[in-house]
Amino acid sequence: MTSSRFSPHDGAAFVSAPNALNAAAPYFRREFHAQDGLLRATLHATALGIVEPYVNGARVGDAVLAPGWTSYRHRVMVTTIDVTDVVRVGANALGAIVGEGWAVGRLGWEGRSRIYADRPELFLRLELLYPDRTVVIGTDSEFRVGTGAIIANSIYDGETYDARLEPVGWAEPGFDDATWLRAEPTDRDPATLELQAAPPIRRIEELAPVDIRESPSGRTIVDFGQNISGWIRLTVAGDAGRVVTIRHAEILTPDGDLETETNRTAAATDRYTLRGGETETWEPRFTFHGFRYVEIDGWPGAIAPDALRAVVVHTDMRRTGWFETSHPLISRLHENVVWSMRGNFVGVPTDCPQRDERLGWTGDINAFTPTASYLYDVRGILGSWLQDLRAEQREKGSVPWVVPDALETPSPPTALWSDAAVSVPWALYEEYGDLNILRDAYDSMATLIRQIASKLDEAGLWSSGFQFGDWLDPDAPAENPTAAKTDRHLVASAYLCRTTREMADTARLLDRAADAEEFANLAARVRDAFRREYVTPAGRLAMESATAYALAICFDILSEDQLPKAGARLADLVANSGFRISTGFAGTPLVADALTTTGHLDSAYRLLLEEECPSFLYPVTMGATTIWERWDSVLPDGTVNATGMTSLNHYALGAIAHWLHRVVGGLQRVEPGYRRIRIAPRPGGGLTWARTAHETPHGRIEVSWVIENEQLTVEAVIPDGVEAEIDLPAHGGTPLFTAGPGTHRWTVPAAGSEGGPAAPSLDTPLRDLARLEGAWPAAAEVLLRHFPGLPLDASSPAAANLTLRGVLDLIPGVPESLEQELNDALSSERP
């Protein structure tokens, strides 16, 4: 997506107040006359800040937090609003309120403010179209500027509104603005203006309270049942001057009071001063918060349930993907992924919506784009974000770690984070099948890859420079989240294998033959270097970690004959971790896929279904309604893990949903844009049904399956223009046939492990085998026959992690026949 430049022509410029108005939001106004015969009135509006435009006293347009956040030095979005119905013959008034927003207010944990402008700036251009002429009223020195009820506003800290100070009629003709000041034009470059192509931020949904109660400390706490991004709308009556204070948080303390640890220094507090008299309804418009709970202070009397609503706010994207299953915790996990995406797609794909950060971290969206593009149509928001990435890259010579770049910290090329310049466009191309996505991104992609290529050592490895590595490995110290088990330069070289291949494929698709050859040679070089440095001929890795194996398997680094050994070793590592998560940002999105593709589906399901921390389901069992930044963000006793970096709304680790859609749901894309798909559900883990649906460029695809009476029934709806390969589990992964458009139904015998507890295998932990009356005694007898005196205590703590395969790895001189003997022994528990 490329936005169109907006040409303001004459008659409009950016203006600001002539002096700082403290923290108060400036109110701008100007009157104009309209003649008979008006055909159309069109308002173009934007700001350095957040703009709320008015015509004749009416708020126009339904966007909020406009124009959103872009790299304002390069791109400022202009909203176009049809205001024909509110312009009348004769006297009219045009006005706007402008808050600090991202341009002026505090931004980032470094404490910076005024990054893009010293004070809020406004741009309006009203075009009045008559049969014989067009009249333009634009922001200039004829506009007057004053203040009103909004006496403080901040994205992080909240909004303070004193209704007694609102100038009645300020946006209507005839208002006395004699005491207001003349607006001053600024030197903002009009070439930065672009017509907004991405969907705007809007109010999407409202949530009623699920509980209103008094905490043990006497505070009024309201629970909306869901962690969201947005704000509170209140309806209240009381005396003039009474102040109602609303504090926001994601969680409560174990004692039931507001816990603001995850906000860090963001005050996240709104204050409303009543004007008195009639019932008043108010909501902030120049801030937003990440919250589930609010604390209300100063409310006159008891709070009625209909007096408060939580307003869900995010970019107005079209929903395109759904998933649910018979396992309620997995279905809730998927809902948490959806809500975290909603909470973090507020104009920019951010890391979190609640604390003093809320930045467009490139690594987060790189990991999550395949999931995001299934759940929602993200061409608009991510297309705009990629334009910002390219603009920042051109200016700074490298891809920033956050886009727009609001940090003073330099951003040298870094795997997974900088890679977003390559892998996000590639993922969008695969989802939508639109080569223009790659054309628009090509120069940026190629520049990054060539820049990284210049940094490789003589062996072809990316072995120097800063790397985030497997960020937030659960075993890393809380104070050093880069200190993962997996070497950070192994991670970098592995990701380079992926991005160079994506780059070569992009050049080939765009008929850039010389570039395609260059990047294909580079891809071969870095893959060979990785294999020489880190992989044994048999397929084991020098770095024995789940992340290392997942990257090597999923990025096609290994040869076909190495995959079985690598997959088996990965399964061992996952089992030895008790099927708890042992990977960070780099590895977590890939482990389930790596297990599945190497024949360890049962291990992938066990990883998914584990409930002890760290695991996908532990937060769900703790009541999470969004994805957490850390698996242990909330400890078992209900206290927040106070690391200084603990968000309860972070979508990146929700990338597991991509596996849920394709493997559990069974809807796999074979060709870009879903021209060809594979219907290949893989039930397991005791699930008895699942269903997924996706709105593709060709229409809606639906896949569902159910296990009843030892039969697996799969149903599918395939739209016109799509051909499906049908690959049912009972047939060993070989597509049986193809199916065209229409509604289809197939029934096959359910595999023995599907529909009930997973069948025991060499990858089953000893503690689980010990619960099986037939399998464990038979397996123990085989082991003791070969190794008399071998200590076998399936009730010991180590048995939670140790598998039969792990036992064999610990014993020297194991006969080749022993694995088969153990499999035969375990078969006593198999259907």
Q: Are 684 and 757 in contact (CB under 8 A)?
A: no
| SS3 state at 116 | coil
CA atoms of 26 and 23, how far apart (whole Å): 9
Angle at 295 between CA 293 and CA 301, to 5 degrees: 125
DSSP-assigned beta bridge partners for residue 27: 97, 146
Q: How many CB atoms lie within 10 A of CB 456?
A: 18
Catalytic residue among 100, 250, 261, 629: 629
| SS3 state at 4 | strand
Assigned token pair, 650: 């972070």
Q: At residue 532, what are phi and psi to the nearest 5 degrees?
A: -65, -40
As separate numbers, helices (DSSP H) first and strands (DSSP E) second, the chain gives: 18, 35
CA atoms of 787 and 811, how far apart (whole Å): 9
CA atoms of 633 and 630, how far apart (whole Å): 5
The distance from CA 90 to its chain's CA centroid, rounded to whole angstroms, is: 49
Burial label for 179, CB within 10 Å (0-12, 13-18, 19+), is: exposed
Angle at 96 between CA 95 and CA 99, to 5 degrees: 160
Torsion sign, CA atoms 261, 264, 265, 270: negative
Instruction: Provide CB contacts within 8 A for 59, sequence distance 6+.
Output: 52, 53
| SS3 state at 344 | helix
Instruction: Provide CB contacts within 8 A for 675, sequence distance 6+.
Output: 433, 698, 721, 722, 723
Q: At CB < 8 A and 24+ separation, what contacts does 127-130 make? A: 127/40, 127/41, 127/42, 127/43, 127/44, 128/34, 128/38, 128/41, 128/87, 129/38, 129/39, 129/40, 129/41, 129/42, 130/35, 130/37, 130/38, 130/39
Whether 533 is catalytic: no
Q: Are 175 and 93 in contact (CB under 8 A)?
A: yes
Length of the chain equals: 831
CA atoms of 43 and 79, how far apart (whole Å): 8
Match 């937030």 to its residue by tokens: 472
Q: Are 638 and 613 in contact (CB under 8 A)?
A: no
CA atoms of 606 and 696, how far apart (whole Å): 31
Q: Are 501 and 557 in contact (CB under 8 A)?
A: no
Catalytic residue among 259, 357, 392, 430: 357
Whether 629 is catalytic: yes
Match 């987060």 to its residue by tokens: 364
Assigned token pair, 701: 């695809």
Q: At residue 422, what are phi and psi to the nearest 5 degrees?
A: -100, -50
CA atoms of 321 and 695, how far apart (whole Å): 7
Instruction: Provide CB contacts within 8 A for 458, sequence distance 6+.
Output: none
Query: Which residues are marked as active site?
Result: 357, 629
